[in-house]
């Protein structure tokens, strides 16, 4: 009997994933990943950032234990605090300080769930690992490929794009053929304590806390001016340019009857947040350079006409992809809004995820957007 090590998070999806694998005849054991310790991970003043009695992680563990007991399977509590701090959170904080908008969930999947967790599974004799992600592994010409879930609204391949290609052959995604409604129904039928539990949002250990407020434990607020790109006038105040993202509309708190306003650029040197109204040409770019690439297929021939997502749940965008040295060049002459340095670009051929990487630089008409802004705007302010 094949042995599967299931990541049990304390949510409904991983609970149903474990149940389905048992029904399919696998020997199932579960692992709860402990990624955060408030007594170890402290703020810039050295104080713990989350009290243990507040931490949603402990609530999740008890829910995971309840499900494991109901399924009559062992639950390993696996400690990845050091790995998470070094490979995920520290990287996330440093890149955010530098004005990027990284995605910690993608880093977590790369370094923790499909690296450290996989290593633990191998050392303990498991044949496969499984999670409650909405994705599929499909066979193409004898090779496993990452593919979109049947439930396109819940598909999570965007967050899985950085997992090592060689892990695909030992990975199971039991929910890939199901809709979220079907998963909830199964959980209710099995009377799981998590059947009606709300889906988690944001970074797992923060829970429902306000993200910007939490991040000020690590990145001091540095208030500054919000500048209208057209008039060069101050239209508001920000709390630190690193806390905003390109294309952002909500939370700018710009008064007056003009608007809506959108973030065009974050200028760290002058500590100014540059904004524009809806149809300004700087809100769209036409190409980008992608670094830290991870290709999930060995049979790609460049250039490629394919689809891309530059953020989660974005509609598929038509792009042309080329490989130059160790970076990808993606072009989209039709123009796309809010392509943001630091975020992930993920590429697809039909429903197959062929890979992706981190957006390094964005261009408008073959010139970096930062150049347009700094030459034509910043110098005039």
Contact by Cβ (8 Å): 51, 7: no
Which pLDDT tens digits describe the chain residue by residue (381 residues)?
A: 999 999 999 999 999 999 999 999 999 999 999 998 765 555 554 455 544 444 577 889 999 999 999 999 999 999 999 999 999 999 999 999 999 999 999 999 999 999 999 999 999 999 999 999 999 999 988 899 999 999 999 999 999 999 999 999 999 999 999 999 999 999 999 999 999 998 876 565 555 456 777 888 899 889 999 999 998 999 999 999 999 999 999 989 897 777 799 999 999 989 999 999 989 999 999 999 999 999 999 899 999 999 999 999 999 999 999 999 999 999 999 999 999 999 999 999 999 999 999 999 999 999 999 999 887 665 554
User: Quick one: DSSP state of residue 17?
Assistant: H
Burial class (CB in 10 A: 0-12, 13-18, 19+), 136: buried
Looking at the annotation, which residues are catalytic?
Answer: 108, 204
- What is the reported pLDDT for 68? 98
Q: Calculate ∠ Cα 46-49-52, nearest 5°.
A: 120
User: Quick one: DSSP state of residue 343?
Assistant: S
Q: Are strands 171-172 and 128-130 parallel, antiparallel or unpaired?
A: parallel
What's the 3-state SS for 173-228?
CCCCCCCHHHHHHHHHHCCCCCCCCCCCCCCCCCCCCCHHHHHCCCCCCCCEEEEE
Q: Domains along the chain?
A: 3-212 (3.40.50.620), 221-279 (2.30.30.280), 284-374 (2.40.30.10)
Note if the bond before 303 is cis, omega within 30 degrees. Answer: yes
Altogether, the residues listed in the chain come to a count of 381
CA 35 from chain centre, in angstroms, equals 16
C-alpha–C-alpha distance, residues 219 and 317, integer Å: 34
What is the per-residue DSSP string for 60-100? Answer: HHHHHHHHHHHHT--EEEEE-HHHHIIIIIHHHHHHHHTT-
- What is the reported pLDDT for 379? 54
Beta-bridge partner residues of 32: 77
């Amino acid at each position: 009997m094949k042995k599967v090590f299931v990541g049990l998070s304390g949510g409904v999806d991983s609970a149903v994933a474990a149940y389905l694998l048992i029904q399919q005849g696998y020997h199932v054991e579960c692992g709860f990943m402990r990624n955060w310790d408030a007594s170890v991970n402290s703020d810039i003043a050295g104080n713990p950032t989350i009290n243990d009695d507040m931490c949603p992680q402990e609530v999740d563990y008890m829910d995971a234990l309840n499900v494991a007991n109901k399924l009559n399977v062992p639950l390993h509590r696996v400690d990845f605090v050091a790995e998470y701090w070094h490979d995920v959170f520290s990287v996330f904080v440093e890149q955010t300080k530098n004005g990027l908008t990284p995605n910690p969930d993608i880093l977590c999947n790369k370094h923790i769930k499909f690296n450290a967790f996989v290593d633990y599974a191998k050392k303990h004799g498991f044949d496969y690992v499984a999670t409650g992600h909405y994705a599929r592994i499909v066979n193409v010409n004898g090779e496993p490929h990452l593919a979109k879930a049947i439930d396109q609204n819940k598909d999570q391949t965007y967050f899985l794009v950085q997992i090592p290609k060689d892990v695909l052959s030992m990975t199971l995604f039991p929910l890939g053929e199901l809709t979220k409604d079907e998963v909830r129904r199964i959980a209710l039928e099995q009377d799981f304590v998590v059947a009606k539990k709300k889906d988690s949002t944001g970074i797992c250990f923060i829970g429902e806390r306000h993200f910007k407020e939490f991040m000020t434990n690590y990145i001091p607020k540095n208030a500054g001016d919000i500048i209208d790109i057209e008039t060069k006038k101050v239209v508001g105040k920000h709390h630190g340019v690193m806390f905003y993202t390109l294309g952002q509309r909500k939370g700018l708190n710009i008064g007056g009857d003009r608007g809506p306003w959108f973030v065009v650029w974050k200028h760290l040197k002058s500590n100014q947040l540059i904004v524009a109204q809806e149809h300004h040409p700087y809100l769209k770019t036409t190409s980008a350079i992608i670094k830290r690439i991870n290709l999930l297929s060995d049979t790609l021939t460049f250039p490629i006409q394919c689809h891309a997502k530059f953020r989660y749940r974005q509609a598929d965008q038509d792009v042309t992809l080329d490989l130059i040295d160790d970076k990808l060049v993606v072009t989209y002459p039709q123009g796309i809004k809010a392509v943001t340095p630091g975020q992930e670009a993920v590429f697809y051929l039909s429903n197959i995820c062929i890979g992706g990487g981190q957006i390094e630089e964005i261009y408008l008409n073959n010139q970096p957007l930062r150049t347009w802004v700094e030459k034509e705007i910043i110098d005039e302010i």
